[in-house]
Amino acid sequence: MDAIEALKTRRSVRAYKPDPVPADVIRDIVDCGRLAATAINIQPWEFVVVTDAAARQRIAATSDYGKFIADAPVCIVVLSKDTKYYLEDGSAATQNILVAARAHGLGSCWVAGDKKTYAAKIPKLVGAPKGYRLIALIAIGYAAAVPKPEKRGLAEVLHWETF
């Protein structure tokens, strides 16, 4: 799948088949995340891949809107050193991961992290050292169902020269 198709067809998937995702595919997806744009090339991110069912269950139980993480075969925890642009950098890496998952024929869903009440708990659950902030939890797997939400049309959001 080419990049434009992956970008245009990516959706937030919250229902997954139990089929495992090959480790080489996950490595490639995380590799795409590490290649994201980053302020002054600081690259403050770290990625924890969680495939253990009990660990995913603990992450899901700690989150509020991410209960489906327990059913996804993979959860990628995106963390960032606490730098000036940690949120922008980590978000760029997260978006790359979402698009890469789609390019591999997988479904994914970004579950918020940074401003959530559980933001300090998840890094501890995955053994992150102090000084790392939670950016996102990303559920990944083969989609059991793909939502088709309506998207605003280009004419509604595109403005030339002025708003």
Q: Does some domain include residue 97?
A: yes
Distance separating alpha carbons of residues 148 and 158, to the nearest angstrom: 22
Q: Is residue 158 part of a domain?
A: no
Whichever domain contains 94, its CATH number is: 3.40.109.10
In 3D space, the residue among 59, 60, 46, 54 whose CA is nearest the CA of residue 129 turns out to be 46
Residue 2 DSSP label: -
In a domain, 150, yes or no: no
- Cα dihedral 8, 30, 25, 116, rounded to 10, equals -70
Q: Which structural domain, as residue segments, surrounds residue 73?
A: 3-144
Statement: the pTM of the whole predicted model exceeds 0.75? yes
The domain tally of the chain equals 1
* 34 belongs to a structural domain: yes
The answer to whether residue 156 sits within a structural domain is no
The reply to whether 36 falls in a domain is yes
Instruction: Decide if 16 is inside a domain.
Output: yes
Would you state the pLDDT for residue 146?
85
**Residue 113 near residue 158, CB atoms below 8 Å:** no
Q: Tell me the mean pLDDT per 10 residues along the chain, length 163.
A: 94 97 98 98 98 98 97 98 97 98 98 96 97 97 93 96 96
